[in-house]
Structure 1
Amino acid sequence: MCSAHSHSTHSQIHSQPLSRSPVWQALQAQAAEMKGRSLKALFAADPQRAERFSLELPEFLLDYSKNQLDQDIFVNLLRLAEAADLAQWRGDFFAGKSINATEGRPVLHPALRGGLAEDVEIDGVSVTAQVEAELERLKEFVVLLHNGALTGYRGKRITDVVNLGVGGSHLGPQTTIEALRAHRKGDVAVHFVSNVDGTQLTDVLAGLDADSTLFIVSSKTFTTSETMTNAGSGLKWLQQAMPEADPQALLQQHFVAVTSSPDKAQQFGVLPERTFRFWDWVGGRFSLWSSIGLPIAIACGFDNFRALLDGAASMDKHFREAPLDANAPVIMALLSVWYCTFMGYPAHAVLPYEQALHMLPSYLQQADMESNGKSTTRAGVEVDYATGPLIWGQTGINGQHAFYQYLHQSPEVVPADFIGSVTPGHDLDGHHEILLANMFAQSQALMNGVDAESVSRELAAKGLSQEEIKRLTPFKVHRGGKPSNTILLKELDPRSLGALIALYEHKIFVQGVILQIFSFDQWGVELGKGLASKLEPKLASGDLADEDGSTAQLIEYYRRINGTVTSTESPVVEVAEPAGEQA
């Protein structure tokens, strides 16, 4: 058992930037050369390429052979990881060192699923013991809920649960529940409200019976404005349905809290026995494995929730122990850095060929972009290279009829992850074969493209004249050379989903280490929150003296159309002078 250190021990924080290293310079030169090479030629030159650049794990096959990569580049990327001291950072991560240095915290989400090599103590308390105790409390609550033992104020059995949360408190659980649609258990329905736009809450509550509805308020600090506003409106909805009830009784019967600030939850009115805890060493976007995953356990059963954790723990073990050249998160991270930082491709597409994974692009968008969307190195200086890519995408079949035209024929190159499974989550004949054929074909088409000679032969075979062939050929040419990974799950089940999500979590961590940035803070999110809290009262007061001209105009328009300002004449607004470069 080891104790977490209070601050990072890495001398690299103040060392020579990695971007000045010889291996970085070598990769820049290789990137310029690789842009002139064809993926088809790479396969032709190496008959064993697919096998060489693939990795089979218990839950899936990772095929990364369709990438702008050769063995020399791969070796240099591995050298880059070594130069970044990845092995030391990985060790400190799992040992509970405070690698989130700007907030002075360890980053220990693997502890939530039993993924540590050995237990860690924080302030003299075993992390594993705390986690297991909280999981046992979750299990007991889920069993009571499924058995019908939990009732509302008037004694009706709880049949619907509404999760109120935003960011990781919403995306992680909802993505997982959607992905495990074929593994639902029990008859308690789970609903999600994340937006402070009252339309979403109104729509969700419209179909529910207040007597049998339970709210889960998921907020790390229990002060998140959007979540607490929705919680207050949820309480008012209950009061309207049960006017005879004391508000405190409704809070005790119809509310559950998931938070790292249990005292604030209890001040709000939630009972201690219905307050589930997670810790400040759990980042919101990595929190689905904690009590934040209560909706998952409700919708899918606690056994399936545990299998999800076990799958993630298996990926933790792989990431900890596998050599870098056969380590799936490391390989995927190196490819991401290769494309975004060296090849100059600023975006990355996530393309699931599984309807159940339709929320995965959104989930990974938050996990990746909130982590690595940074412009300051660990030394506190501005980066001189591109960091994390723009993550986007949607289910593959829908994407084929939307933005794949851009992927295929735009001059831009967008590396992509194709994700599918061997075993379908349904019993309809013929569907899955069509789905997988499309997935394989699209990655093949992006790689190979179609040259002018092939297009000309195809048009000639259709009987077109030489004049028509000459006219049409340029429009039908696909340059190809568009790179992709393919992740083929054996089956989309709780264990494989846990491994898949943990794969991307560790990929994001490795990217940050190599880019020499801190991946586990999100000060950009905090900036917007702070400004919003200052502007909110001005929508009512109209005190715009300190605002820029655009913001003042927008607030004034809102007040005029909303009826806050009754005069037809706009009041005089004194606009502050620009404050230089400060945010």
Structure 2
Amino acid sequence: MSDIWNKLQENHSAADGRTIISLFDDPERFDRFSVETDGLLLDFSKTGIDRAALDLLQDLADDRGVAGKRDAMFRGERINRSEDRAVLHTALRASGSEPLIVDGEDVRPGIRETLRAMENFADGIRSGRIPAAKGGAFTDVVNIGIGGSDLGPVMAVRALSPYHNGPRCHFVSNVDGAQISDTLQKLDPRSTLVIIASKTFTTIETMTNAETAISWLKNALGSKAVSHLAAVSTALDKTAGMGISPERVFGFADWVGGRYSLWGPVGLPIMLAIGPAEFRNFLAGARAMDTHFLTAPADRNMPLLMGLVGIWHRNICRYPTRAILPYDQRLAKLPAYLQQLDMESNGKRVSNRGTPLERSSGPVVWGEAGTNGQHAFYQLLHQGTEIIPAELLVAAGSHEPSLRDHHDLLKANCLAQSEALMLGRSPEQALEMAAALGYTGEEQRVQAAYRTFPGNRPSMTLAYPLLTPFSLGQIIALYEHRVFVEGAIWGINSFDQWGVELGKELASALVPMIKGAPAEDKDLSTQALIRKLSV
């Protein structure tokens, strides 16, 4: 394997000074460096990868056994080694009746049964067949969760707003009382359903917010407040202790990680907002990407190619971050969602064997919707000292045909940014511009320096016909599998998150100290901060 890494590095070094635009001397470059499936197009031709580098990257994927690891995941093998679990979020959106055996049990019937129960409940809430305690239909839903129990549903619900035809959905995640206060004060408890999403019903932020919401319901509804509760949890004893009916509790197995869970019960708010039929279209989009990932040849396999581009940028070019830039306002929460998906999955420093990694793993993932980001941080993308690969997403059409001029301008901005990142503006062009503006002498040189763009900055573009439940499912599944590919090449476990634990443990111990308990065992800085924050 080290030989392939060395050859990749040699390819990169040999191309020093070569521009991305020069690679388009190959008239077939776009065709070779883009791939399409079910209407979704990935263009990675505006990167510095040439044909030789792409061949080497595919050799690297073969050497690291990516295809075999992929197949093992879909078969339900225990690829999450640190927790000795299968990884089967893909099963939540699968179709067909072929058995999928985990621990000697076919899990498919249970998945279908849970989906039917979700649909029955969602139909009941949406139609008014399941009424609020004091009559009438529920008008609002508050989903209380955090991490994967929040980021996925809130992102998808916002993304699919043109398909909303059910109760209004609201989301509370932060333990900061400001969020739940601001959310509940706008709602009527007599027509609000509260969903508590916590697999174990022990997540401290979620349960603290749940207690506040339950008190709010009880103040208005008394003993009937429980009829305004539902849960996404496997802790049936704890949900029963709250009085939540088993028919309103939707669980999922330990082979579905939190950040991969919006395809099942965690996605209940999505189903409530858009309805069971469109939710099934959402699952179908993800399933189509699963099928593509499993069956497409390596040189036309979108998740594999996207992952290989990520490896090139992170390990060969040594770029420490990647920017997610959706030119789609309804995908404004996608960067935050992908931040968790990627950084919690691949933010690891040891391998599956428990040994230190030889190379850098996951990059910092961040971003903002275009065109807002253009007026915020694109200055750094274009003229900063660090190169940041950009990933732009854009739809051909919009849900607002009467505002076509808006969407045409949006698309033009998206394409202009990818072009500008690649081409830049040469010192000679900048000098001509400064001269045209009337600058002379040394001031002309200085003004030209301000206006020079180095260019040669890589980007990928993900284009789709329209943001629909199907295309959103495709996009999310694509990024899930991209994370898998990169993790497989790095040899890490992308499906645990031990790094989350230490801070949670320390926070629990600090709560009494914040309230006045002795803190002598803490470091002097922490002690001083406790005193400063005590009120």
- TM-score normalised over the length of structure 2: 0.97
What letter is aligned with 1:278?
A: F
1:342 and 1:498 map into 2 onto residues whose CA distance is 31
> Which residue does the alignment assign to 1:452?
427
Counterpart amino acid of residue 421 in structure 1:
A
Matched, 1:339 2:334: no
CA distance in 2, matches of 1:535, 1:510: 39
Aligned partner letter, 1:319: F
Q: Note the alpha carbon deviations across 1:6-62, whole angstroms, 9 max, x for none.
A: xxxxxxxxxxxx5xx211121122233334321122223x12211210111113111
Partner of 1:551: 526
Query: What is the CA–CA distance in structure 2 between the aligned matches of 1:324 and 1:281, rounded to whole Å?
Result: 27
Q: Number of residue pairs matched?
A: 534
Q: Secondary structure at the match of 2:465?
A: strand
Letter in 1 for 2:479: Y
- Say which SS state the counterpart of residue 143 (structure 2) adopts: strand
Pick aligned residue for 2:183 from 181, 204, 213: 204
Question: Over aligned residue pairs, what C-alpha RMSD do you find?
Answer: 1.5
Matches for 1:162-177 after TM superposition, within 5 Å: 162-177=142-157
- Please tell me whether residue 357 in structure 1 is matched to residue 331 in structure 2: yes
CA distance in 1, matches of 2:240, 2:105: 23
* Code of the aligned partner of 2:431: S
Give, as a single letter, the amino acid of the residue that structure 2 aligns with 1:27. L
Unaligned runs of 5+ in 2: none
Distance 2:185 2:508 in 1: 29
In the TM superposition, 1:121-520 aligns within 5 A as 121-186=101-166, 188-242=167-221, 245-246=222-223, 249-251=224-226, 253-427=227-401, 428-465=403-440, 468-520=443-495
Q: Which runs of 5+ in 1 are unaligned?
A: 1-17, 563-583
Contact 1:337 1:388 (C-alpha < 8 Å) held by counterparts: no
- Sequence identity percentage: 45
Say whether the 8 Å CA contact 1:175–1:357 is kept in structure 2: yes
Give 1:351 shift: 0.3
**One-letter code of the match for 1:301?**
G
1:556 deviation in Å? 1.9
Q: State the partner residue of 1:577.
A: none
Question: 1:430 deviation in Å?
Answer: 0.7
One of 54, 60, 63 as aligned partner of 1:74: 54
Deviates more, 1:436-445 or 1:264-273: 264-273
Q: Matched residues in 1 for 2:207 and 2:277: separation? A: 31
Cα distance in 2 for residues equivalent to 1:33 and 1:544: 58
Could you report, residue by residue, the CA deviation over 1:250-277 in whole angstroms, capped at 9, with x for unpaired residues? 22x0110001333322223211011111
Secondary structure, in 3 states, of the residue corresponding to 2:373? helix
Query: Counterparts of 1:118 and 1:150 in 2: how far apart (Å)?
Result: 34
Within a 5 Å distance, the mapping from 1:69-108 to structure 2 comes to 69-108=49-88
Q: Which amino acid aligns with 1:544?
A: A
- Structure-1 separation of matches of 2:442 and 2:211: 70
Q: Which residue of structure 2 aligns with residue 36 of structure 1?
A: 17
CA distance in 2, matches of 1:185, 1:125: 37
Secondary structure at the aligned position of 2:135 is classed as coil
Distance 1:115 1:260 in 2: 24
Separation of aligned partners in 1, 2:332 and 2:126: 27
Q: Which moved more, 1:316-325 or 1:28-37?
A: 28-37
Does structure 1 retain, via aligned residues, the 8 Å contact 2:126–2:137?
no
Q: Is the 8 Å Cα contact of residues 36 and 302 (structure 2) preserved in structure 1?
A: no
CA offset at residue 464 of structure 1?
4.3
Shift of the 132–450 alpha-carbon distance from structure 1 to 2, 3 Å rule, reads: same
Partners of 1:166 and 1:72 in 2: CA distance? 44
Aligned-residue offset at 1:545? 2.1
Distance in 1 (CA, whole Å) between partners of 2:509 and 2:424 is 52
Q: Distance in 2 between matches of 1:29 and 1:519?
A: 29
Structure 1 window deviating more from structure 2 (112-121 vs 55-64): it is: 112-121
What is the distance in 2 between the residues matched to 1:550 and 1:540?
17
Instruction: Return the alpha-carbon distance in structure 1 between the equivalents of residues 309 and 465 of structure 2.
Output: 23
What's the TM-score once normalised by structure 1's chain length? Answer: 0.89
Q: CA deviation at 1:239?
A: 1.9
Which of residues 49, 52, 57 is equivalent to 2:32? Answer: 52
Q: How far apart in 2 are the matches of 1:115 and 1:502?
A: 15
Cα distance in structure 1, aligned partners of 2:329 and 2:517: 47
CA distance in 1 between partners of 2:520 and 2:434 (Å): 67
Of residues 486-495 and 115-124 in structure 1, the stretch that sits farther from structure 2 once superposed is 115-124
Distance 2:446 2:77 in 1: 64
Q: Report if aligned partners of 1:166, 1:195 keep a CA contact under 8 Å in 2.
A: yes
If you compute each CA radius of gyration, which structure gives the higher value, 1 or 2?
A: 1
Q: Would the aligned equivalents of 2:46 and 2:458 in 1 still touch at CA under 8 Å? A: yes
8 A contact 1:184–1:299 mirrored in 2: yes
